[in-house]
Amino acid sequence: MKINQAFTILAQHSDTHVARIITENNKEMTRWQVWKIVRKLKRGVPVAKIINKKWFWGLQFYTNRHTLDPRPDTETLVSAVIADAGKDTAPRILDIGTGTGCIIISLVKSINGATGVGIDKSRRALRVARKNVKQMNLGNLVQIKRGTFDKKMDTWGTFDIIVSNPPYIARGDNRVDTGARHDPQMALYADNDGYKAYEKIAQNAKFALKRGGKIYLEIGIDMGLGVQEIFARHGWEYERSENDLGGVERVLVFTLL
């Protein structure tokens, strides 16, 4: 099928912007492939999961149905770390629940001398993260390993910085947008009204953080006080919060007492 024919069909069932993005990333499509994409769009599948690409922090990442699509809100976390890192610090960074690897990769690309480890429970997500590390030519600076929130995180040594965008949506919360429903549930939902991952991280991440180091956490709307209480119980000291571009408290920063 000619590209202009594919564009016309896609535009009829979505909009011209979406049609343009898809056709620019798929120069050759059969009629069957075009209508398969139309069916995905009707189900609310995000464009990123159709073209397997998503921009984050000025970088293009591979993504698929096994990973959470990188989102602009998470750039608030990256920005907070970079603001604190300063020049020539060469920090070692641990990314808990790395998914696509977008956080650890963006940080290592942006901070002079930085190296890191990204861990994830999902083997399929690990394959995506490794693909992105290879694509960014960071194989000698970023390691991707299998790991969970549930154990002491000292397997990979100690770190100057720990970051995480853990699952924080309460099970049964229907406020997630249609696109998020196509992300893996383990990357979105957590027990205890969305707080379980924070409880595990507060308990286990301390074993991987150097004294004087910091942990940066993305949080959901109105979760700030609850997460602060959890970390205080486990011996962490609250430092500050950061708002996203919409003015929502999005990132919390802690150090160890």
Specify whether 28 is located in the same domain as 72: no
Q: Quick check: is 133 in a domain?
A: yes
> Which CATH number does the domain housing residue 101 bear?
3.40.50.150
Q: Give the pLDDT score at 127.
A: 98
Q: Give the pLDDT score at 53.
A: 95
Provide the mean pLDDT of the chain.
92
**How confident is residue 144, by pLDDT bands cut at 50, 70 and 90?**
very high
**How confident is residue 244, by pLDDT bands cut at 50, 70 and 90?**
very high
Q: Give the pLDDT score at 115.
A: 97
Specify whether 39 is located in the same domain as 78: no
Residue 38: CB atoms within 10 A of its CB come to 16
Q: How far is CA 116 from CA 15, 86, 93, 107, 218, in A?
A: 40, 17, 4, 9, 18
Specify whether 104 is located in the same domain as 188: yes
Q: Give the pLDDT score at 137.
A: 97
Specify whether 30 is located in the same domain as 113: no
Specify whether 233 is located in the same domain as 173: yes
The answer to whether 44 and 177 have CB atoms below 8 angstroms apart is no
Average pLDDT, integer, range 9-18: 86
Q: Quick check: is 136 in a domain?
A: yes
**How confident is residue 4, by pLDDT bands cut at 50, 70 and 90?**
confident
The dihedral of CA 154, 126, 83, 190: what is its sign?
Answer: negative
Specify whether 101 is located in the same domain as 175: yes
Specify whether 244 is located in the same domain as 180: yes
Specify whether 115 is located in the same domain as 168: yes
* Beta-carbon contacts of residue 179 (< 8 Å; ≥ 6 apart): 44, 45, 46, 69
The dihedral of CA 26, 31, 34, 36: what is its sign?
Answer: negative
Nearest Cα residue to 198 out of 229, 221, 153, 177: 229
Over 90: is that where the pLDDT of 171 sits? no
Q: Give the pLDDT score at 106.
A: 98
Model pTM score: 0.92
At 52, which amino acid appears?
N
* Beta-carbon contacts of residue 143 (< 8 Å; ≥ 6 apart): 116, 117, 118, 156
Q: Quick check: is 173 in a domain?
A: yes
Specify whether 15 is located in the same domain as 89: no
Average pLDDT, integer, range 34-55: 91
Task: Residue 33: give the domain boundaries.
Answer: 3-43
Specify whether 108 is located in the same domain as 220: yes
Specify whether 126 is located in the same domain as 179: yes
Q: Give the pLDDT score at 88.
A: 66
pLDDT tens-digit series, residues 93-129 = 999 999 999 999 999 999 999 999 999 999 999 999 9
Q: Quick check: is 48 in a domain?
A: no
CA distance 144 to 181: 26
Q: How far is CA 192 from CA 23, 145, 168, 205, 227, in A?
A: 43, 27, 10, 19, 12
Specify whether 166 is located in the same domain as 225: yes
Plot region of 172 (φ>0 → left; ψ -120 to 50 → alpha; else → beta): left
Q: Which segments of the chain are extended strands (E)?
A: 53-56, 59-62, 92-96, 115-120, 142-146, 159-164, 169-170, 189-190, 209-218, 236-243, 249-256
Tell me how many domains the chain contains: 2
The answer to whether 109 and 138 have CB atoms below 8 angstroms apart is yes
CA distance 237 to 88: 26
